[in-house]
Amino acid sequence: MVEEHKKFEERIADLERLLEEAREEAGYYKRIAAETGKTRLREINQLSRLITELRRTEEELKHSEEKYRILVENSPIGIYYSDFQGRFLYGNKKAEEIVGYHREELIGKSFLKLKLLSQKDITKIAKLLAFNAIGKATGPDELTLIRKDGSKVIVEVNTEVITIEGKKVALGMVQDITERKQAEELLSSLIAVAYGLTAELGFDRVFPLIIEKVTEAMSAERTSLYIIDWERHELWTKVAEQIDQIRLPLGKGISGRVAQTGEMLNVADAWELPYFDRAFDKKHQFRTRSVLCMPIKNHVGEKIGVLQVINKKGEKRFNSEDEIFLRALTSQVGIALENSLLIEELLLSFNSSIRTLSAMVDARHPLTAGHSQRVTDYSLLIAREMGLSEDEIEPLKYAAILHDIGKIGIRDAILLKNGQFTPEERAG
């Protein structure tokens, strides 16, 4: 029994040991399972975060692409891209506006074959595409495009070579510079007029120069320059295109009102103004429509004249650029006109002094009354018959009228003597 009991206890001990080992092994596997579960959970969490990040990145990319598309589509600069053969692949709204075509009318077509460019500019754009084909950027280059409606627009083009969906294309950026070029031409005309005005002081030469240049530069039918006569309360023009001299009371008509108020007037149709007199148009078989009229002022701001431009060609009225040009011009005209009027006043005073001297000479002797004037008249007739210029005739006129000026210094006893001079008188 003792032996059996001992064996039983040993058996129990063995079972407890096996049980303990089983418990330890179960704990091990439990720990392994727990660790494996944690790792798997971490992997799942990381994968979840990665998916979330990818989705967010995808949304940001999509949003960024949308922003880029909106920016390009609504850019104030025309943007297009084409292949190196000149076929349109894309054009934004501004590009459509510049050429006057919808993009559907252009995409897939070559602008080398469309009527968008003149032959000269087709050659130029072909060279630009050749540069793009070897990876070179170009520009800025000026081109004249022919829009769908037949009108022309001057553009400045810059190109870059970019890659879209693995394919290299020419990216073009186009700006409408028509207004800028027109402004440059107006400025050039203004400089030419200003140079002419500063070079001429004679009113007879200034006036034709003014009206000719202004009419040409502003694409108008007529230009008139009025001088204000404050003593008579009227304004007048000595010469005007296609009409005789005009005299108007201050305040009458467009030019009279501008002379009185000193304010610019820019009207689309003069006949709609209650103070415009249509009788003048009817008398001369003319139709005054658009009118741009500005006051001319001297260096102290006093009104001395009015510059009026009539009927803008091809437009319903004169625009803001015309106003800027004419305003700049009137400041130059004011200086030239003031100088001209001052010169005329000086000439009047000078001529009056010359005539007084001539009269004094003739009055010294009863037989020479009117002699100086007759010599002058004959001299001028001969000079004009010879074809001398006005610049050559001017000094001749003064030389003729003063040819006897030396008589002023001769005593009456000698000048009026009736008979031969004595040796003493000849010597004196």
Fold matches, 76-176 and 182-344: yes
Q: Provide the 10 A C-beta neighbour count for residue 380.
A: 16
Residue type, 117: L
Structure tokens at 426: 């000849």
Output the pLDDT for position 201: 47
Cα–Cα distance for residue pair 346/344, rounded to 1 Å: 5
Output the pLDDT for position 279: 84
Sequence ranges of the domains in the chain: 1-73, 76-176, 182-344, 364-427
Q: Please report, in tens digits, the pLDDT of each residue of the chain (428 residues total).
A: 334 444 545 555 555 565 555 556 555 555 555 555 555 556 555 656 666 666 666 666 566 566 667 777 888 888 888 888 888 888 888 888 888 888 888 888 887 677 788 777 888 888 888 898 888 988 888 888 888 888 888 888 998 888 888 889 888 888 888 877 776 676 666 666 665 555 554 556 666 777 787 888 788 988 888 888 888 999 887 766 666 778 888 988 899 999 999 999 999 999 999 888 888 888 888 899 999 999 988 888 888 889 999 999 888 899 888 888 888 777 777 777 777 777 777 777 777 777 777 777 676 666 666 777 888 888 889 888 898 888 888 888 888 887 777 776 677 666 666 777 677 766 65
Q: What is the DSSP letter of 366?
A: G
Q: Which residues are 154's β-sheet partners?
A: 144
DSSP letters of 290-348?
A: -EEEEEEE-TTS-EEEEEEEEEETTSSS--HHHHHHHHHHHHHHHHHHHHHHHHHHHHH
Domain 182-344 has CATH 2.60.120.260: no
Question: What Å distances lie between residue 286 and 26, 46, 78, 262, CA to CA?
Answer: 118, 88, 44, 27
DSSP letters of 368-383?
A: GTTHHHHHHHHHHHHH
Output the pLDDT for position 391: 80
DSSP letters of 97-145?
A: HHHT--HHHHBTSBTTTSTTB-HHHHHHHHHHHHHHHTT--EEEEEEEE
Please give the CATH superfamily to which domain 76-176 belongs: PAS domain (3.30.450.20)
Query: Reduced to 3 states, what is the DSSP secondary structure of residue 254?
Result: helix
Output the pLDDT for position 350: 76
Cα–Cα distance for residue pair 321/186, rounded to 1 Å: 9
